Each structure stands twice: as structure tokens, then as C-alpha cells.
Structure 1
Amino acid sequence: MRDTPERGSVWCAVITVCTLVGLMTVAAPSSPASAVAACGAGGVDADFNGDGVRDVVVADPEATVGGKQRAGAVTVVYGGTGLGPERFDQDSDEVRGSAQEGAEFGLSLAQADLNGDGCSDLVVGAPYTDVADAQDAGAVHVLYGDPAGLAANASTSYDQGQDGVEGGAESGDLFGYAVAAQRSASRAPYLAVGIPGEDVGSVPDAGAVDYLSGGTWGWVDQDAPGVAGAVEVNDRFGYSLASTPSHLVVGAPGEAIGAETFAGAFWIFGGSLDTAGRPAPLGAPNQESPAVGVAESGDRYSTSIAAVPMPDATGTYKGGSYVVAGSPGEALGDTEEAGSVSVYKVTAAGVVTTVAPGLHQNLTGTAETAERADHFGQQVAAVVQGTTLRVAAGVPGEESGPEHTDKGGVQIFALPPGGGLSDSWIDPGYGIPGEPSPRMYVGVSLGATPDALLVGAPYGRSGAPGAVYAFDWTVASGGAAQHTYEPGAAGIPAGGTAFGAAVR
């Protein structure tokens, strides 16, 4: 049996080592000049209708569609006043193909203006899609933005069974388990697709990334020229992805460091491409390079990754990036799987320095205390406000007692450029609305906007299919959410199963 993430289990997919794991060719419906004029000047992330206001996307990859369980759906909540929320699934007219049981449409999300019309486009991963006879081969869908909303425009879909897409569709590949989309510093758009279950040659589950730019797919794995390391069993290269205009970051939480299996590492790539369409490799940090600790079996470093542009002291962006890596299996002393998060600066050329070698719950003066199986860092999110970096770490294994096992929570850190550290804490019943209950796993789903931290609570609310809460990044411990997104409220379609399992 393949050692890949289990279908339909956002949390269980990573809680144990044994389950770890002109761009587009479709023409826009109007000419580029008229499309840009209609979409506005652009420049606002996740603005799918081009009105200058950021929109929010909430996924329910476990939603039943047309009687097909875990087919998956996404809901777009437009930030302006002109359009109401829209729900998309693979039975929607705007999405190619049809709903497939177990596909988990929406398990991964990304956005960027990929066709240059001024509106953001939405990328949706459905990694458990069957392609021909290949079970769980995976697929990715792109829904194009338009002033009338995503529903007004064409879409396209990709899988490894298509001509031109690198690799071949094989059972358990999980094409689309992670996705990233960006416009580079030179404004060239690209799409990166993680394939953590890909066999490379005869090596099972080594993992790879398909990289689409300028209409050409490039193939990246650890055997590619200049890429550090070597292809190994269970590396899961491409399990996590993040991007800024200067860098693509690829996580491999199954990477072995020496004899330490599932220790984990991540790779940094720049914007220039070689003749095979591959981005330039710039380095591959792990916990021992630069030193932020000791690489140990089961750390699963880079299970989650966030990357944001790094300003200089005046607030000007000059090509650097902050990279945040979660290590949810990290032991703190004798406390197994407590978890930690590391923070780095990366220059445009790829030089890596450490900002914070380890954020965790045993730091002096911080909220909460590390406990066994907290899995701090299972998910991370980050933003820069002014020159202050703010980092959120999901702690889905957090509990306040046996009656609230794995209720979860989120710890938020502020790292000003001059040094120092402050934090706050929210969890169910303490900032997150409602009563705490077992197995809520709050912290498995986080999203970042310039103004808000989005916290998904897809599980554990009795009689409810989940919700997403937007908090100010400067919220005090136990502070209230600014806004709530939930099915059946404020125009959001009712129903679902795990609303908020992914959000951006």
C-alpha cells in the first residue's frame, strides 16, 4: 500500500508518520486591453472581480455533490457590495468535468492573475481525482476572474494524463495536493503543482513539482540539475508549496536527513527558468542548515510553509522573502510531537538567515505550555504589516482537559524588525465563538490577508458543517473575531461537511 495521505482526512493525513506524505492556453473572453480596463488596475491579491477589494475563498473538500461523498466544493465571498457569494463544484457549469466521489475538490487553493487581465484567477486542487484507471492521480482546476465574478468566465483543468503536462497519471500521485500561483518580479505568471505521491523512476513517493510558465510545463524533482539532495523513498517533495514574487518554496516533510527519516526540508527556487522550463534552484534548508535545532526522525519539518515579501527598513520591497516552516512532529525535551515553527529571511539571490530558530509554546513569556501531540505548526500563516512580521501557528492537538481532547487553537506572534517577540492565543470558547468540544482540531486551516487572519473550524461544531473566523492580526488573547463566514448566513449557500478545511 502506498504511504500517502489518506483520502478525506485533512487532519489525519499528517498526524502520524505513516500517513504523511501568458500562462494559460484558454483564451480570455475579451481582448486583453478591454479586460484590464474592466477589471481595474489590478494589484489586489484574490480580487476575482477586479473591483479593488480582496475576496475570500473557503473550501469544503469533504462536501457531498450530487450524492457523491467527498467530491468537494469551494465558496467565493466577494469583498465588495456588487456580488453575492458563489459556490463552485465539479458539477458547476463553470468547472470542467463532473463531480467525482472522493476527489476532494478544494483541498488546496491558490490565486494569482494568471492571464494578465487584471482580475485574480482561482486555482483549486482536487488531488484524489481518478484519471482514467489511475486512482487518486489528481487534477487541478483554474477558474478565471471577471468583473461579473468567476462564474462569468471560462475555466481549464490539468492532470498528468494530458499531452504537454509533465509526468504520467499514476495511482496515488496526488497531483494538486499543494498548489501555488504567482506573478514573478518580472510580472511573468506561473503555476506550481505539488505531486507528493509521485514515483521518480523506481523510487516510490519521492515527489515532484510540475511548473507551468509561458505555456510550457517544467518538471522539478531532487534529481533535476542543481537541486540539492537525492530522490529517496517517502520524501514527499511537493507536499507543501508557498510563493512570493521572488521565490517558490517547496516542502518535503518526508525528507531524510542522514539516518533520520521524515525529518523534513524545504527548497527555494528563483524566477529564472532553464531551457527545460524549470525554476532556478537556490538552496535547501533543513533544521541543521542553517542551524535551528537538530533534525530528528518524525519532525516533519516543512509540513506547512508560508512565504511573504520582506520589506527593508523603510518598508520597500527589494526582492527578499520571509519563509515560515512548521515542524509539527518536533519534540521539545521529553514532550513528543509538541511542534515548533522556524522563521527565515531569504534574499533575492537565495541567501538564508534565521529570524527565529524556534517558535513554540515553551518560550518564556508566551501563552500556553507545550504538551504531547499538540502538533504546533501543523499549519502556518504569515503577513507583514508595516515592517513587522506576524506569524500564526495552528495547534490542532491542543486540549484544555480530557473533556476537550484535540479542540485545537492558534498562537499568533509579532516579530518586529528590531527584535523582540510578543504573542496572543485564541481557541474554541476563548475568542473562537461557541463552546469547545473534542476533536475540533482548530489550527488545521489558516489563511492570511493583509488585514485579517482567517481561522477555519471545519470540525466539531455539533449540527454545523464548519465556519471560518476572521481575526485582526493584533487580536489580544481571547479577543473576538471581526467576521464569521458560515453556510446559510449572509448569502453563503447552506449545507456542506467541513466548510473551512482550506481558506485563503
Structure 2
Amino acid sequence: MKAAVAPGSLPSVPWGRTRHLAVPVALAAGLGAPADAVAVPVGVDLARPDGDALRLVGDRGDSAAYTVAPAGDVNGDGVGDLVLGAPYADYNRRRDSGSVYVVYGRRPFDGVDLHFLETRGGGFRIDGIAAGERFGTAVAGGRDLDGDGFGDIVVGAPNATFLGRREAGVAYVVYGGPRNGAVDLANAPLDAYDVIGGRSPQDHTGRSAALTADATGDAVPDVLLGAPDADSRVPGATTANTRTGSAYLVTGQRARRGVPVDLAAAPGDVRQLDGSVTSERVGASVADAGDVNGDGTGDLLLGAPTADRNDRVDSGSAYVVFGRDERSVLSLSLLTPSLGYRVDGASTGARLGQAVAGLGDMNGDRRADAILGSPGAAVGTRRSAGRATVVYGQTARLRLDARALGTAGFSILGAAAGDAAGAAVAGAGDANADGLADVVVGAYDADNNCRGGSGSAYVVYGKFGRAPVYLSRLQPARGYRVDGARPGDRLGWSVGNATGFAGPGPVVIAGSYSVNAPRPFAGAAYALRRGVRKTASRRYATRLPLRVLRRPGGRARDYEGFLSIPVEATAGPIRDVYAAVYTFGGRRIGSTSVPRLAGRRQLDLRLRERLRGGGYTVVVSGQPDPARYCGRKSRELVLRFR
């Protein structure tokens, strides 16, 4: 941790001598309008939605909107459709067989109860074949694979058994066309869908899926699948490596309709991309990157969120692999600048690559850009606030470090500790009509509006340059925030863009897989039309409800090896209080812990060395009384000595 103060700003104190140090005041977070509150523009509060927010709610136990994606025009009516994954649905008496809902584009823009989807002509449901396969864990659409003019979709069932290979995983290609009523794949005609089966037991093929516009130069869309628990088997990779993960680009779907694909048979129309580091889990996320390097062929994005890079455990990585007309096996350890490049997470536990997405051109340089989610990243002292890294299209580098992107991109930084911003990311189209691509970032664990775990999604507008975007102080010119309706909804678990779903222009989709109303664990998705409503900014506390006393004795003091700070809990008792003092360079030199702090008290931090000239930072963390203080996470107070 590094304190944001200038060196030499703290006067020298002889060891064992008393010296009073002034502490900045106004770091209290009370219950009214706390001094440390931040004002963030709210485009939509889903507890009070307006006519531009459409709700699509699932059936009992579905966890609908666990995944969301544009479906293209599945029924041929000229309006874009939407596909929602519900991997825990139990239709046909098959527990956790899973389902997906295809929802037809809405004109007018009215709500949908997925329980009545087919009977009201709003779309149809597709049910998984076997119990426990979790059909709908991944969904992708927006392309016409077989050339019949209807949008097709790909659905992942990562726990499915294929040819006796337990949990090898399966991806189903379901072809579009007019339909009436639910489709049970266990009884569907064989020409209604195709199967792509995993290579080995427990590969979990289909954990992620995408459709690419053209990654081989043949002007035909391709299928991209992730198998994050596959073991490497590529020459040049260590065969003992486990859970390195793999991704598969399956081409030629138009000519092969009706013929299943067995990835273990090394078919000639599959490009295989294998991880090479134990447990990096390549393929945990995949996406169509667009044309990143400007060669006219689409490129690929692969996430590996548990990779250990640069001595940072679980920092994560993402790979940009350039498209080419090639059907071969490639170990990503052999990546060269002509084949692609790698982006590494900024810190231990960041999990960069948990989510990845192509954006289009966000900075106006005519190359496709990418966004990479790091939900575990810390932002300053805010642990797991999360971040999303935007990487501009390029060809010049083999490796990038999200900690020091330079001119290669910029970061979007989470607002509060534990928000997990970046757990889901997607392009948002051009939401503000300025000609630049925008992004949507999910923060499913945010606690805004005193609703613990309600979640939020942020739409961030495209921009030039490398300056970071702070979600804690997002301004209307830079984007807006969407807040979940109820505690525990987890809005932002999934996000997407369904352009054309409500007529011309982009529609942002945000999923809340744990919505419990009107049915337990039904899940819901919200479709939001372009434009920001004129909703007043809301204020919410982001720091610990603790203040430093100003009265006599209200100064920090170094005395006989202790740094003493008199404080007062302003919103009821605080549990599990921990305070630590850090040097300007981020080295901890003293600490203390208190099981429970109520009212006024002095925090005595035992020092391991004497205070010297320079800036010091004290970080106090703890859990406020949930009965009196909104939010459920441990919060922090930061004191800087100048």
C-alpha cells in the first residue's frame, strides 16, 4: 500500500519523545450526509424504474440471466432478439439440466415474465437434455452460422457427459427460425441443433462461448469455446500441467450442419489454443475481439484468471490471438508478436481475465479495442473493489502489464471495497451517440442505496487517452450507473448489449441472477435503452463510521513506541477493528486490533521503529453495526499525516 502524500511532510520525532502530530479532520462517516460521501450520477435505480427499463424475470429456481447475449434476428421479423441463460432450471423433471430463453425484440418496450414467454408469443424456451449438465452456463449469438438468414445461438453445458466422458462438456449450436412453444433438446429433431463435445473428462468445455464474425478470413462466422479445466497436450508444453485450459475455434459450421464435432478426434476444421501454465485456466472466458491488429481478419480474446504472473498469485492474464486461416494446435507459451500478445493482471488476486469482451473502436484509431475484467483487484486501500482494463488495438508488443499500460489503454477503477467491478464486461455500443464505442462494467457485489449486495452496472463512454476512470466519481459526461432493486439481487453478474432489441440503437443488458421476486431465485435481466434519465445523484458512505476527535487530546501522538489516535464510533459499535500504520513506501511499521469499538476510545498502535521524516498513512478497517449502518462489508478509514 502506498500513501498518497509527499515525502518529507511529517516532522522528525525523536524515539521515546512526545510530539503532537496534526491529523486531517472531516473523515467521519455518519448516518446523515457523511463528510466522506461521494456523489455518483445514477442513470437508473431499478427500485424506481422508468419507461426505459424493461424487466425480464425468470421462473422459480432458474437463476435466469446468469448469462446474457444478443441473439441476432432469430425469428426473421427484422428486430434483434435476446438470449438469457438459466443453468439451474429444472424443466422436464431434470434437476439443473438448465434452459435458455430466446426473447424476441420488443416493440413496444414492455416487461416480460419468462414463465409465460411461449403462451404470449414473446419468444421461446430451450431445455437441456440431461440432469446436471447446466445448459445455459454460457450463451452467445448474433451470427448466422448456416446462411439461412436467421440468427443462430451457441449454448454451453459444461457439466454434460459426452461419449462417456464425464463432465467433458458440450456446446450446442441451435439454429434460428420461427418457432412455437418450448424446445426440449432431448426430443428435438436432429437437424434443429448440432453438438460440439469436449475432449476429455472434466474439461468443462462450454464454460464460455462466443461467435466470431470471421477469424479465419473465409467471410463465414466461427464458434469459439472455452474449456478452462483441460490439461495441456501440446508439443512444447509440460504434459504434467493440469487445468491449463484450452480454447477451440470451430470453423466450417455452414458446410457441416448435422454432423457432431468430437474435439478429441482433432478434426481438421478446429484451431486449438492451449494454456501451458498449471491452473491458469485459459478459456474461463472467451470473446470475439474484432480486428485488433488491422489486418482485415477478426481476432480472439481468451481469459486465464488464475494465472500467476510477475510473482503475483492469481493476478490473471488475457491473451489476444490474431485470426488466421490455420487449423492447428498452438501452445500460448509460444505466442510471438506475429501471433498475438498477452496482458497480465496488475496485482496479486486481481484475476484479470475473469471476463473479457471486444468493444469496437473506443478511441477513434480505427482498430478494435478490448476490455478485460479484474474483479479481485484492489483500488488503493479498497480491497476487491475491482477494475476493468481497456486495451487499445495494437500489434507492437508481446506482453502488457495492467499495472503500467502507458499509452496502450486505461483502467476503470471500482468504487468501493468488495464491489468486484469487472466481474462482467461487455461493449455497450455507442450509448451516447458520439461515434466512439462505450462499455458496460458489472459490479455485482456493490451495496449502493443501503442495499447490501444489490449490485450495480456502469456504462462508461468511449474516450481518448490513458487517464483512468474512477467509478466512485463518475460524472454524467463520462457515463452513468444502474443500481439493483433489492438487497442480494447481484445486478451486474452478467452484462451485454442487444443492439436493435428495442428498435434502432444500443440496448444495455444487466443480469441479476439471484432476484427472488416474484419467485424464489428466479433471476432477472434488465434492458435499458440509450440515454441517461435525469435522476438526482445519490450520496452513499464509502468509509468507516469513525471520526478523529478534535478536542484537547485529539491529536495523534508518538509516545514510548506507540502511535495513539483518539477516535469515536459515530454509528454504533464497530466489530473486528484493525488499524495499521504505513510508511510512504507502503511498509507496515505498526498495528493494533480491537474486537469491538464503541463510543470514544484511543487506538494505540505499537510501532516497530521510530517515526522519521516523511508521510505516514494509518488505515483503520472494521465492520459497522449492520442494524444502524447500511452496507455489509468491512469498511475503511484512511488517515494521512502530512
1:178-197 equivalences in 2 (<5 Å): 178-184=208-214, 186-197=218-229
Higher RCO structure (Cα 8 Å, ≥6 apart)? 2
1:86 equivalent to 2:138? Answer no
- Give runs of aligned pairs for residues 237-276 of structure 1, distance below 5 A: 237-245=282-290, 246-274=298-326, 276=328
For 1:333, which of 374, 380, 386 is the aligned residue?
Answer: 380
| Paired residues of 1:267 and 1:281 also in contact (CA < 8 A) | no
2:425 is equivalent to residue 370 of structure 1: no
Aligned in 2, Cα 1:145/1:344: closer, same or farther, shift over 3 Å?
same
* Counterpart for residue 406 of structure 1: 453
8 Å Cα contact 1:426-1:477 kept in structure 2: no
Q: Which residue of 2 aligns with 1:359?
A: 412
Change (3 A) 1:55 1:343: same
Q: How far apart are residue 350 of structure 1 and its match?
A: 8.2
- Post-superposition shift, 1:478? 5.3
State which of 312, 331, 339 in structure 2 corresponds to 1:281. Answer: 339
Give how far 1:10 is off: 8.6
Q: Say whether residues 1:203 and 2:241 are aligned partners.
A: yes
Percentage of identical aligned residues: 25
- Secondary structure at 1:392 match in 2: strand
Following superposition, the deviation at residue 311 of structure 1 comes to 7.5
Deviations along 1:60-82, one digit per CA (max 9) or x if unpaired, are 11101222221110111122789
Question: Offset of 1:412 from its aligned partner?
Answer: 1.6
Aligned CA distance change for structure 1 residues 350 and 310 (closer, same or farther; 3 Å): farther
**174-183 or 110-119, which moves further after superposition?**
110-119
Cα drift, residue 199 of structure 1: 1.5
Q: Comparing 304-313 with 51-60, which one deviates more in the overlay?
A: 304-313
2:197 aligned to 159, 175, 179, which one? Answer: 159
Query: Counterparts of 1:469 and 1:89 in 2: how far apart (Å)?
Result: 22
- Does residue 1:106 correspond to 2:136, yes or no? yes
Check 1:384–1:87 CA distance in 2 against 1; reply closer, same or farther (3 A cut): closer
Q: Aligned equivalents of 2:164 and 2:218: distance in 1?
A: 40
> 1:131 deviation in Å?
3.0
Secondary structure of the residue aligned to 1:273 is: coil
CA distance in 2, matches of 1:418, 1:329: 25
- Contact 1:388/1:417, CA 8 A, preserved across alignment: no
**1:416 CA drift (Å):** 3.4
CA deviation map 1:382-418 (0-9, x unaligned): 13425222211111111148x7321211122112348
1:217 aligned onto 2:270: yes
Unpaired runs of 5+ in structure 1?
Answer: 1-7, 14-43, 91-97, 161-167, 223-230, 288-294, 362-368, 430-435, 480-504
Residues 418, 336 of structure 1: CA spacing in aligned structure 2 closer, same or farther, 3 A cutoff? closer
Give the alignment partner of residue 481 of structure 2, picking from 413, 419, 425: 425
- Deviates most, 150-159 or 388-397: 150-159
Q: Residue 195 of structure 1 contacts residue 238 of structure 1 at CA under 8 Å; is this kept in 2? A: yes
Aligned to 1:22: none
* RMSD value, Cα: 3.2
- Partner in structure 2 of residue 177 of structure 1: 207
Offset of residue 45 of structure 1? 6.5
Equivalents in 1 of 2:157, 2:518: separation in Å?
A: 26
Q: Distance in 2 between matches of 1:148 and 1:281?
A: 42
Q: Tell me what 1:391 maps to.
A: 439
The AA in structure 1 aligned to 2:479 is D
Shift of 1:130: 2.4
Q: Distance in 2 between matches of 1:422 and 1:130?
A: 46
CA 116–308 in structure 1, closer or farther in 2 if over 3 Å, else same: farther
Which protein shows a greater Rg? 2
The reply on whether 1:124 has 2:155 as its aligned counterpart is: yes
Uncovered stretches (5+) of structure 2, i.e. residues with no partner: 1-60, 108-119, 184-188, 233-238, 257-268, 291-297, 333-337, 468-476, 500-505, 537-642
Cα distance 1:86–1:425, how it changes in 2: closer, same or farther (>3 A)?
same
Partners of 1:114 and 1:183 within 8 A in 2: no
CA distance in 2 between counterparts of 1:189 and 1:89 reads: 25
Q: 1:10 to 1:358 in 2, by over 3 A?
A: farther
1:308 correspondence with 2:359: yes
Cα distance, 1:457 vs structure 2: 1.7
Deviation for aligned residue 1:137: 1.7
**Residues 339 and 69 of structure 1, relative CA distance in 2, 3 Å threshold:** same
Quick check: 1:196–1:237 contact (8 Å CA) kept in 2? yes
Report the CA distance between 1:203 and its aligned residue.
1.2
> Could you tell me how far apart the structure 2 residues matched to 1:281 and 1:9 are?
41
Match of 2:33 in 1: none
Q: Following the alignment from structure 1 to structure 2, what is the Cα–Cα distance between the partners of residues 104 and 392? A: 26
- 1:232 maps to 277
1:456 lines up with 2:511 in the alignment: yes
Say which SS state the counterpart of residue 322 (structure 2) adopts: strand
